[in-house]
Amino acid sequence: MSSYLHPRSMLRLLALSGFLIAGVAQADMYDDVAALAKSGKPAEAIAKADQYLSNNPRDPQMRFLKGVAQSKAGDLEAATTTFQTLVEEYPELPEPYNNLAVIYASQGQLDKARGALEMAVRNNPNYAVAHENLGDIYARLAHDSYNQSLKLNGNNRALKLKLSTLTDMLQPATR
């Protein structure tokens, strides 16, 4: 049995191996950018994302990772722009909506956060993080409404209990 490959078969194998290597390199680049952002090096993550995006400007995954790094760097304006562009170009992706909602909520824009999260769960009903975040937004909205109601009717004991319970629930967990 011969181990000879026809030249056309050899070319196909070389092309296939090139695609596989490129896919691995691409996955490594995503992992590198995500790890840099997560480890407190968002400027490096953004630079690496920009380097990659200079050759692949429409890659939604890398653009998303860049938005995450921008958020971690505290550049919420740039992150908002990145995520808004992603939802305009890829409205079916739930993650950019979720991340937009986190930014909106941090700025006290609870109605915008709720709308973004509703889009995220509409696009992916199994997206647990978006459901949790939506629950948090509803709780904050309820807290605000109960607080307003208490200002108008300070004698309502049941309302005071609801407000107290929500206030405790919305406190950051101690570690």
Question: Interior CA angle at 101 toward 97 and 106, to 5°?
Answer: 155
Report phi then psi at 79, rounded to 5: -65, -45
What's the burial of 99, exposed, middle or buried (CB within 10 Å: 0-12/13-18/19+)? buried
DSSP line for 31-50: HHHHHHHHTT-HHHHHHHHH
The pLDDT of 107-126, averaged and rounded, is 97
Reported confidence tier of residue 10, pLDDT bands at 50, 70, 90: very low
pLDDT tens, residue by residue, 129-147 = 999 999 999 999 999 999 9
Give the predicted TM-score (pTM) of the model. Answer: 0.80
17-73 per-position pLDDT tens digit: 554 444 555 678 999 999 999 999 999 999 999 999 999 999 999 999 999 999 999
DSSP per-residue string spanning 79-138: HHHHHHHHHHH-TT-HHHHHHHHHHHHHTT-HHHHHHHHHHHHHH-TT-HHHHHHHHHHH
Is the predicted pLDDT of residue 12 greater than 70, yes or no?
Answer: no
